[in-house]
């Protein structure tokens, strides 16, 4: 009897020690997870990626609840864009916006639309006189048709949302034979942070946007038309009043983008700016309540 009792006692003690050790290990592990928030790439809930596509535009809005792509760069960049999406783990787009049918914006669109699952495509509705007959445009239309994506004609003042992101399409307002002015312009918000994209829209559209009465103030403004001085007017920049400006262009492009006047204006207004030509891919993340530029 005495022997059994002490054996039971020994077993109880061993069990207790094991339980204490297991709880300690679990406790240490739990504590480590709690005290060291992981802010690595995969755990950022929202980021905007200005992908370096040389002379052109391609912007990824990546969130933990869905993704969006604005433009797909010039023809020849499609593999780089698809690789970038793949590296980011993006296989599906809630929205793809083809701002306007110039090849530096839609040249890679056909391959991107067929390379990932695209749910909705927003693009300008064109007229008989301004519909291009370029190979890039026709190839994109075929790819869109085959994708089964829902095609949405951009209309001013139209609101959309996915996950925690909201965006409003601001223009085009009317048909224009200058396709830059047919650009889908939009303002996107995530919490208190705002981002403005105006494609290649020129000064007359900027005036129309102001006259319409939109709230154009944005934390981040991707300069229109690769920093051209035919866009990005002083007045428009005052209204947008960005903390950060991003210019997407290719080194030594034949247009001279960004124009000196635009860069001088940014410097005069003390606006921090980055360019894909100088920095490559530019990533702006929301970490905590702050915007972090990489
Ligand atoms: Zn362009």
Lowest-confidence region among 32-41, 194-203, 240-249: 32-41
Expressed in angstroms and rounded, the spacing between residue 229 Cα and the centre of ligand 1 is: 13
pLDDT digits (tens, 9 = 90+) for 57-110: 999 999 999 999 999 999 999 999 999 999 999 999 999 999 999 999 999 999
pLDDT score for 20:
45
- Which three-class secondary structure state does DSSP give residue 256? coil
Q: What is the CATH number of the domain that holds 102?
A: 3.60.15.10
- One domain, residues 32 and 50: no
* Per-chain residues with Cβ under 5 A from ion ligand 1: 104, 200
Expressed in angstroms and rounded, the spacing between residue 199 Cα and the centre of ligand 1 is: 7
Expressed in angstroms and rounded, the spacing between residue 73 Cα and the centre of ligand 1 is: 9
pLDDT digits (tens, 9 = 90+) for 201-241: 999 999 999 999 999 999 999 999 999 999 999 999 999 99
- One domain, residues 17 and 138: no
Expressed in angstroms and rounded, the spacing between residue 56 Cα and the centre of ligand 1 is: 5
- One domain, residues 244 and 155: yes
pLDDT score for 14:
57
Q: Token digits for 49? A: 């990626």
pLDDT score for 36:
44
Which residue bears the tokens 């749910």?
119
Average predicted confidence (pLDDT) for the chain: 89
Q: Average pLDDT, stretch 36-42?
A: 49
CB-facing half-sphere around the CA of 290: CA atoms within 13 A: 4
pLDDT digits (tens, 9 = 90+) for 43-52: 689 999 999 9
* Percent of the chain with pLDDT strictly greater than 90: 83
pLDDT score for 172:
98
pLDDT exceeds cutoff 80 at 276: yes
- Do 27 and 14 meet the contact criterion of CB atoms below 8 Å apart? no
Expressed in angstroms and rounded, the spacing between residue 102 Cα and the centre of ligand 1 is: 7
Expressed in angstroms and rounded, the spacing between residue 251 Cα and the centre of ligand 1 is: 14
CB-facing half-sphere around the CA of 117: CA atoms within 13 A: 7
Query: How many domains does the chain divide into?
Result: 2
- One domain, residues 27 and 94: no
- One domain, residues 11 and 53: no
pLDDT score for 289:
85
pLDDT score for 29:
36
pLDDT exceeds cutoff 50 at 34: no
pLDDT exceeds cutoff 60 at 30: no
- Distance in angstroms (rounded) separating the CA atoms of residues 226 and 273: 13
Domain that holds residue 166: 41-293
- One domain, residues 25 and 47: no
- One domain, residues 55 and 191: yes
- One domain, residues 255 and 139: yes
Report the greatest alpha carbon distance in the chain. Answer: 104
């Amino acid at each position: 009897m005495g022997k059994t009792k002490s054996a039971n006692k020994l077993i109880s003690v061993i069990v207790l020690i094991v339980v204490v050790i297991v709880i300690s290990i679990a406790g240490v592990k739990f504590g480590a997870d709690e005290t060291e928030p992981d802010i690595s790439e995969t755990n950022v809930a929202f980021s905007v990626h200005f992908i370096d596509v040389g002379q052109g535009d391609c912007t990824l809005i990546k969130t933990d609840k869905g993704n969006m792509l604005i433009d797909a760069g010039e023809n020849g960049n499609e593999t780089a864009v698809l690789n970038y999406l793949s590296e980011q783990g993006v296989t599906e787009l809630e929205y793809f916006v083809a701002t306007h049918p110039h090849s530096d914006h839609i040249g890679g669109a056909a391959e991107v639309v067929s390379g990932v699952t695209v749910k909705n495509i927003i693009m300008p509705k064109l007229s008989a006189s301004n519909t291009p007959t370029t190979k890039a445009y026709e190839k994109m239309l075929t790819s869109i048709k085959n994708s089964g994506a829902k095609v949405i004609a951009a209309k001013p003042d139209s609101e959309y949302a996915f996950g925690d992101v909201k965006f409003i399409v601001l223009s085009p307002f009317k048909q224009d034979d200058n396709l830059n002015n047919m650009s889908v312009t939009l303002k996107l918000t995530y919490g208190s942070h705002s981002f403005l994209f105006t494609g290649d829209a020129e000064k007359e559209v900027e005036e129309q946007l102001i006259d319409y009465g939109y709230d154009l103030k944005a934390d981040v403004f991707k300069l229109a038309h690769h920093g051209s001085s035919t866009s990005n007017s002083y007045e428009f920049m005052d209204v947008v009043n960005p903390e950060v400006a991003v210019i997407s262009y290719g080194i030594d492009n034949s247009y001279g983008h960004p124009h000196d006047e635009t860069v001088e204006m940014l410097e005069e207004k003390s606006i921090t700016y980055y360019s894909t030509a100088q920095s490559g891919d530019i990533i702006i993340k929301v970490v905590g309540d702050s915007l972090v530029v990489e």
